[in-house]
Amino acid sequence: MTATATPAAKKSTYRPLELFDTDRLLDDDEREIAATVRKFVDTRLRPNVGEWFESATLPRELAKEFGKLGVLGMHLQGYGCAGTNAVSYGLACMELEAGDSGFRSFVSVQGSLSMFSIYRYGSEEQKNEWLPRLAAGDAIGCFGLTEPDFGSNPAGMRTRARRDGSDWVLNGTKMWITNGNLADVATVWARTGNGDRDISGFLVPTDTPGFTANEIHRKLSLRASVTSELVLDNVRLPGSAQLPLAEGLSAPLSCLNEARFGIVFGSLGAARDSLETAIDYAGSREVFDKPLTSYQLTQEKLANMTVELGKGMLLAIHLGRIKDAEEVRPEQISLGKLNNVREALAIARECRTLLGGSGITLEYSPLRHANNLESVLTYEGTSEMHLLSIGKALTGQAAFR
């Protein structure tokens, strides 16, 4: 009697996520969007990423190419945006970050921070002025919340906006701002009074007198991404530059939540690419007269990493479905960001070990991904901040201070 082979049993090897069959949880549109972005990454970005990372550049013209691809503000409706669901946006982030966290960071900041702040809190005039250009990549946006002395605790910000007649005058410094030197418009968060609710958002065209962006150099992480200090020295803006619906710190925090959701998926792209690279390398690398993949120690590493990658993907899709149902809570996004970035970083580092000496060069992606993920671990709320927000959800007690 012959045993009936299942289709899966006929397959001799799997890519890590195939083992979880997570594609089965996606619909045709979602799979197609992921495939389209993956193709763009493979043909346009992957061949150049080593050079961009080494020279610490992100070519400005990529903005228009991302616009053409339809990934800028893709989860927003109207104003030239693609209007996809959250899962599709997450999958696009994942494919971009499989190329490099710098690409996903650009798209996250443009779509989820700059565009979302205008989309959610802007006037109709502000939306019509900026969103179609930002969606097309004809304009670039950045988002200035962090300051030199206030990162994890943005409530302490010192940047001030004061009224002068019908104008606003802004003074202060923002730090670690992605796309700062590329941007045409900056969403800047500033204090308008002394209370917690006295924080407002302002759209600052970057050619306004008194606005300066200084690029931060000598980075060891996110090198294919522009990071800047923004200086606002008596920047005079018309009253119409204020985002009319943004009141208090909850406004910028809601934008961060959008971007964090992209990271929940995105970080797994870096992990998947590291793991696939390591499996390919180990399969052709002979040590002690046998392929590296034939050793139990190697297989244990690969199996453990695959388990974490797949669990992270299940979590990401689950959170995406809850987000599409408009029911996701910030502490659930914290869970996803905390887990998936932490595990992605562990995977990228472990993959580097499998590559031996070759793993320290730009020929292979894992160490580049690991270095990038150090930034991803820190921005949009450090791991410690997400632990504290989960702790608060569990106990009802805030332990931030």
Size of the site for ligand FAD (CB under 6 A): 19
The Cα–Cα gap between 350 and 169 comes to 50
The rounded distance, in Å, linking the Cα atoms of 78 and 127 is: 10
> Does residue 71 come out as left (phi exceeding 0), alpha (psi in the -120 to 50 range) or beta?
alpha
Question: From CA 185, how far away is CA 134, in angstroms rounded?
Answer: 9
Backbone angles phi, psi at 64, to 5 degrees: -65, -35
Q: Of 260-279, which residues contact ligand FAD (CB under 6 A)?
A: none
**CA 335 to chain centroid:** 15
What's at 385, amino acid-wise? M
Footprint on residues 151-210 left by ligand FAD (CB under 6 A): 151-152, 176-178
Q: What DSSP string describes 10-38?
A: H-S---HHHHHTGGGGS-HHHHHHHHHHH
- Let me know how long the chain is: 401
**Are the C-beta atoms of 151 and 118 separated by less than 8 Å?**
no
Residue 255 contacts ligand FAD per CB under 6 A: no
Among residues 79, 143, 261, 364, the one that binds ligand FAD under rule CB under 6 A: 143
Cα–Cα distances in angstroms (integers) from residue 178 to residues 101, 137, 216, 223, 269, in the given order:
12, 16, 10, 11, 20
Which range touches ligand FAD (CB under 6 A), out of 16-24, 64-72, 260-268, 374-382? Answer: 374-382
Please report how close the Cβ of residue 227 comes to ligand FAD at its closest, in angstroms. 5
* Closest to ligand FAD by CB, 83 or 151: 151
Residues between 75 and 114 with contacts to ligand FAD, criterion CB under 6 A: 109
Which CA distances in Å does 120 have to 51, 321, 390? 37, 21, 26
Interaction of residue 382 with ligand FAD, rule CB under 6 A: yes
Shortest-Cβ-distance residue relative to ligand FAD = 151
Question: Which listed range, 24-32, 117-125, 142-150, 165-173, lies at the site for ligand FAD (CB under 6 A)?
Answer: 142-150
Q: Could you tell me the smallest distance in angstroms from the CB atom of residue 292 to ligand FAD?
A: 33
**Residue from 97, 229, 258, 380 carrying the catalytic annotation:** 380
Q: Is 379 in the site for ligand FAD (CB under 6 A)?
A: yes
Amino acid at 323: K
Q: Which CB, 26 or 253, lies closer to ligand FAD? A: 253
Sign of the torsion formed by the C-alpha atoms of 23, 37, 13 and 267: negative
Active site residue 380: yes
Q: How far is the CB of 388 from ligand FAD (least distance, A)?
A: 6
Instruction: Kindly state whether residue 375 participates in binding ligand FAD, applying the rule CB under 6 A.
Output: yes
Minimum distance, C-beta of residue 113 to ligand FAD, in the bound complex (Å): 6
Please give the structure tokens belonging to residue 52.
């961009």
Q: Is 144 in the site for ligand FAD (CB under 6 A)?
A: yes
For residue 128, state whether it binds ligand FAD (rule: CB under 6 A): no
Residue (77 or 152) nearer to ligand FAD, CB: 152
Footprint of ligand FAD on 223-252 (CB under 6 A): 227
Distance CA 303, CA 347 (A): 11
Nearest approach, Cβ of 385 to ligand FAD (angstroms)? 6
Q: CA 136 to CA 72: how far, in whole Å?
A: 7
CB-nearer residue toward ligand FAD: 185 or 305: 185
For residues 36 and 91, the answer to whether their CB atoms sit within 8 Å is no
Interaction site with ligand FAD (CB under 6 A): 109, 143-146, 151-152, 176-178, 222, 227, 375, 378-379, 382, 384-385, 400
List, by residue number, the catalytic residues. 380
